[in-house]
Structure 1
Amino acid sequence: MNGMWSVPGYSQIRELGSGASGRVVLAVHDGTGTAVAVKYLNDRMLENPAFVREFRAEAQLLGALGSPYVVGLYEYVEAPGGAAIVMELVDGIPLNALLKQCGQTGPEAALVLLKGSLLGLADAHRAGVVHRDYKPANVLVAADGTSKLVDFGIATPMGTTPGAAGTPAYMAPEQWQGRPASPAADVYAATATFFECLTGRKPYDGQSFAELAVQHVEAPVPETEAPEPVRPLIRRGLAKAPEQRPEDAEAFVAELEGVARAAYGPEWEERGQRKLAALAALLPLLFPSAGAPAQGTTALATTVLPQPPVTWSPGRRGLVAAGATLVLGVLAVFGYQAVGAEPAGAKALNAFATSSASGPAPASPSAEPSIPPSPSPSPSPSPSPSATPSPSASAAPSHSGPPSPTPTPTKSPTPTPSPSVLVSAVSVTLKASPTVGDALVSLNAKGGSVTVVLEWFRGDAPNALTVADGTDSLTAPAGPQSTVSQRHAIARGGACYLTVRVSTKPAASPQYAYATSQIPRCVVVPR
């Protein structure tokens, strides 16, 4: 690998940012003149199939979201020379650069930023995904005061336990403790960023990973440092226990709007957006468009990501081997119990930890150290996705100009063959008695038999993946209407809903199917 590979059909203009996992460049689509941001996986990561697989999964996630509050996917390209995600160019600056310049945004602007970010997170949560690395560097503020969320590189499905990963200053207590990923962790990180916008500093100022872990897990919520009208949001969003926070980003938006309207009147959002636009205007040279000749429409490149047979796995976006080893060593010190002393090697760990290349971000602002997970071994390599001409997977707006009615195709590398077994149309129904749940899974399996994995959860609300209740694995025969059934004994624990999450190997799209049922004779007590 010589590091010089570039996506065919695009002309590079300049680098916008770089990190441990790769770099982001400003480029122009040769066929339409569309300005784009291209995220390249670095050469070291390309040598590990696990990193490539999860880089591909990040692209698939972006393509599936299609949210106006999340940077959009144009195409994904993978070849022997490299791998790249071609994204919508948001002509904006990262929030961390804006905060470095102005210190604070004021409450109305901070509320606008929080609302926009929560709406992006809400779209991810509805898709069953937890971002896990929300922070100012991953929020881009456009010239008009709007914002978009970027970098889903360490995102993971809800309910999985991928280990501790994220950016320490914004990690929820349960992230430090390696507990299952939940939307409440994203709510925590968004609130920590909201606090920083209000006060000009992070909620906790520990100088080492161990010190930060203790503060996030045990220290009181510093709500009194925020303006009094918004303290309820700080108190709720930074609650130590995930069940004491809003259950997801959508629920937090409702609380935010009620607080904002009561405190600042019906015009708070318009004033806040104007304030953000004014603050962004103070940093004109940090916009991707500054000094760049790229002009054109926002026509989308026409390669879309097909449904590759890959499964989510927690590892990727690692540090170099020495850095990853140090991260694991420090995290092992506290596990489920926070410690009060800085472990040996924590300062060295800080030196190794780096942020990823998070979308079209300038290289000048300093980046927060991150704890990325290490790659998980895969039982077999996943084939590369093919690049097929069809409409783009995302139609999220760009700040580059008006849309063009007819996108121009781009040439992509020769695709690798598709797998011999294809899975689609996965669905599940569930019936629960007081002691057992009966699930019936149906699917289309072409080319061979399929492994069906059923993960059981108990909770106090429908589709709540609160308490893991076991896993079953079955084999479904090939066929257009293949079915398998499974009976599951419900563990005692008081929860009133049983949920089953179904996935397959090879993976279908969407990756998961869900069903939930209220357990008879169980009384849900209102909170």
Structure 2
Amino acid sequence: MDTRTAWSVPGYTEVRELGSGGSGRVALAVHDATGTAVAVKYLSDRLREDPAFVGEFRAEARLLGGLESPYVVRLYEYVEAPGGAAIVMELVDGVSLRALLRQSGQADAEAALVVLKGSLLGLAAAHRAGVVHRDYKPENVLVAADGSSKLVDFGIAANRGSTPGVAGTPAYMAPEQWQGRPASPAADVYAATATFFECLTGRKPYDGVNFAELAVQHVEAPVPETEAPEPVRPLIRRGLAKAPEQRPENAEAFVAELEDVALAAYGPQWEERGQRKLAALAALLPLLFPSAGGTAAGTTASATTALGAGSGWAPGRSGWLAAGIALVMGAVLVLTTDAIGAAPGGASALSAFATTSAAPPGPTSPGPSVTASSTAGASPSASSSPSPSPSASASASPSASPSTSPSASWSQAPTGQATPSASPTPSWSPTPTPAPTPKVTSVDVTLKTAVYRGDATVTVSSQGTGPVTVVVEWFLGGAQGSYAVPDGSESFTVRAGTTVTTTRSHAFSRDRGCYGGVRVTTKPAAGNKSASASQYLLRCVEVPR
């Protein structure tokens, strides 16, 4: 049956199809009651006939419903009825990290650290819930227009300590994943580090041409840390350690190490600079943003990699054993791919991820779109355009525990006809509501000056949700409280709903006044509009004019 003419989720008006593949399709839709733009991921009719695929699809929705993090795509609703099954998610107006790397080749160290930190915070939320993602890779990290990042696609996630089988994307799989050992957060740390390495160098840590070579390399090849910039090599060395106990135990621990390394190497402003650099890279791909309203894209990808010339390394006995295991696993994966109807010469899979802005688009706003990536069910991972990395997913169904958000509820769907699945047909329907507009209650600043230098401590108090833009303007003057000569400005974003304090540093120009000043404003405007401070610059000598 053509899924484009099949069942759609009640209560939503579909705007257009955004992607399709062997496992289903993704559509942009609008929630009729609130006008909120959403992404709807439909499981294909063929896979709905297999209870294992339906079970995994349902488990993915339950897992998303239990994760409360701004760094993970949010679940709005899961609906399963005789006519179909669908996951309704928030819409992220961003591009995949894979698309950025395809455009730029590699990223600056500060930008790579920022994208790693954001997606690691998403992993940390899953790890706290006892869930292992198992498929962290550039396709599953989204970068928004402001340079923030978000983790998506929990299609093959599993409970910590469970043994659901070999699954993941080979280029990023930890040694223990190749060996079918229990799922652990340390494996996600390994995959995140492999992605970080690719951001820094423009290539994957290991480049075997098939499953066997990749397995051997991940299990016993040396960690290629020397190819990364020297300041961040400790992160590469720790994150790609062969033994899981030699890595940070989870994503939260890895974030702490990352922040220590970044601060020591690049100073207190590394994150703001890195986010601006990411935003600049994303701005080079305007047509790939969901809000650009492009046409629907297929999700068939070629499962091949290329082997670099002459590494000078050969596997030992344990490596050859791993190679044998990988060859067997590869045959299983090929059979699995064929069984689910992958396109000839490639692997078909589908996943949707999307982001909403602080307020839903108005009636005249261009409807945001969605970026399609991997997985629905036990299919090999694939991105919306050809990817050089093969993907393996031999597990049938992760056993993520049912966990719902407070607004979620279960109800029985209508049963006017026999369901294709042998399982019951529940409908899980939390109602999406537009995100509140952020409100800034106050902004404050204090200024400490040194020799032609100032450190401004900015405090922003806000309510609601969504981004708040903070603008810091620097001035020079001939008297205290004088803001006569502009001396530069900067801006950064914070998340509403908290009180945030941060210190911004500035080197003032010489011979333009002995009093340094700073003025801070926010968008939206704060209740007290702005805050400012002015202080004498030490050792400053006013030059007569």
Q: TM-score range by the shorter chain?
A: 0.5 to 0.7
Matched, 1:234 2:254: no
- 1:181 is displaced (CA, Å) by 0.2
Tell me how far apart the structure 2 counterparts of residues 394 and 122 of structure 1 sit (CA, whole Å).
26
Picking from 379, 393, 409, the partner of 1:372 is 393
**1:72-91 residue pairs with structure 2 within 5 A?**
72-91=74-93
Q: Contact 2:23/2:348 (CA < 8 Å) preserved in 1?
A: no
Gap runs ≥5 in structure 1: 294-318, 324-333, 405-527
Deviation at 1:53, TM superposition (A): 1.4
Written as runs of structure 1 = structure 2, the 5 A alignment for 1:48-447 is 48-291=50-293, 337-339=321-323, 343=327, 349=334, 351-359=345-353, 360-362=370-372, 364-367=384-387, 368-375=389-396, 382-387=423-428
In the alignment, the residues of structure 2 paired with residue 50 and residue 240 of structure 1 have an alpha-carbon distance, to the nearest angstrom, of 32
Whole-angstrom distance in 1 between the partners of 2:62 and 2:83: 20
- The Cα shift of 1:382 comes to 4.0
| Equivalent pair of 2:136/2:192 in contact (CA under 8 Å) | yes
| Deviation (angstroms), 1:396 | 11
Which SS does the other structure have where 1:261 is aligned? Answer: helix
Q: In structure 2, how many angstroms separate the alpha carbons of the residues matched to 1:9 and 1:139?
A: 29
| Aligned equivalents of 2:434, 2:63: Cα separation in 1 | 10
Secondary structure of residue in 1 paired with 2:9: coil
Aligned to 1:14: 16
Once residues 203 and 114 of structure 2 are traced to their aligned partners in structure 1, the CA distance between those partners, rounded to angstroms, is 18
TM superposition score normalised by structure 2:
0.61
The question of whether the paired residues in 1 share the 8 Å contact of 2:127 and 2:250 is answered with yes
SS at structure 2 position matched to 1:207: coil
Q: Which of the two has higher C-alpha Rg? A: 2
- CA gap of 1:69–1:226, structure 2 versus 1, over 3 A, is same
Contact 1:117-1:139 at 8 Å conserved across structures: yes
Report the residue type matching 2:258 in the other structure.
L
The 3-state SS of whatever aligns with 2:15 is strand
Task: Determine if contact 1:67/1:396 at 8 Å carries over to the other structure.
Answer: no
Query: Closer, same or farther in 2 for the Cα pair 1:341/1:39, shift >3 Å?
Result: closer
Does the 8 Å contact 1:195/1:226 carry over to 2? yes
In 2, distance between residues paired with 1:270 and 1:352?
40
Residue identity matched to 1:265: G
In structure 2, C-alpha distance between the alignment counterparts of 1:117 and 1:377, rounded to whole Å: 21
Q: How has the CA–CA distance of structure 1 residues 129 and 341 changed in structure 2, closer, same or farther, with 3 Å as cutoff?
A: closer
Distance in 1 between residues matched to 2:97 and 2:279, nearest whole Å: 12
Q: 1:9 Cα deviation (Å)? A: 2.1
**Cα distance in 1, alignment partners of residues 423 and 319 from structure 2:** 32
Q: 1:220 to 1:385 in 2, by over 3 A?
A: same
Cα-Cα RMSD: 3.3
Offset, 1:184: 0.3
3-state SS of paired residue (2:350): coil
Q: Is the 8 A contact 1:13 1:292 kept in 2?
A: no
Partner of 2:452: none
Compute the displacement of 1:80 (Å): 1.4
Give CA-to-partner distance per residue, 1:484-509, whole Å, 9 cap, x none: xxxxxxxxxxxxxxxxxxxxxxxxxx
Structure 1 residue aligned with 2:468: none
Aligned residues between the structures: 362
1:292 deviates by 7.0
Q: Which amino acid aligns with 1:32?
A: T
How far apart in 1 are the matches of 2:250 and 2:110?
A: 22
Please say if residues 91 and 142 of structure 1, whose CA atoms lie closer than 8 Å, have aligned partners that are also in contact: yes
* Residues 242-297 of structure 1: per-residue CA shift (max 9 Å, x gap): 0000000000000000000000000000000000000000000001110379xxxx
Asked if structure 1 preserves the Cα contact closer than 8 Å seen for 2:114 and 2:271, the reply is yes
| Structure 1 Cα separation of the partners of residues 16 and 194 of structure 2 | 32
Q: 1:357 to 1:117 in 2, by over 3 A?
A: same
CA distance in structure 2 between the aligned counterparts of 1:125 and 1:37, rounded to whole angstroms: 25
Question: Matched residue of 1:38: which SS?
Answer: strand
Look up the match of 1:416. Answer: none
The answer to whether the Cα contact below 8 Å between 1:142 and 1:277 also exists between their aligned partners in 2 is yes
Report the CA distance shift for 1:397/1:74 in structure 2 as closer, same or farther (over 3 A). farther
Q: Determine if contact 2:117/2:255 at 8 Å carries over to the other structure.
A: yes
For structure 2, the 5+ residue unaligned runs are 304-317, 338-344, 354-369, 373-382, 400-420, 439-462, 466-545
Deviation at 1:116, TM superposition (A): 0.5
The Cα offsets for residues 131-166 of structure 1, whole Å up to 9 and x where unpaired, read as: 001111011110000011111010000000111101
- How far is the alpha carbon of 1:12 from its aligned partner? 2.3
Partner SS for 1:76: strand
Report the Cα offset of residue 364 of structure 1.
4.9
Structure 1 residue identity aligned to 2:323:
V
Task: Kindly state the Cα deviation for residue 39 of structure 1 after the two structures are TM-superposed.
Answer: 0.9
1:339 is paired with a residue of what secondary structure? helix
Query: In the alignment, residue 194 of structure 1 is paired with which amino acid?
Result: F
SS class of match (2:392):
coil
Give per-residue Cα distances to partners, 1:408-465, cap 9 Å, x unaligned.
Answer: xxxxxxxxxxxxxxxxxxxxxxxxxxxxxxxxxxxxxxxxxxxxxxxxxxxxxxxxxx
Post-superposition offset of 1:391 = 5.7
Distance 2:329 2:232 in 1: 39
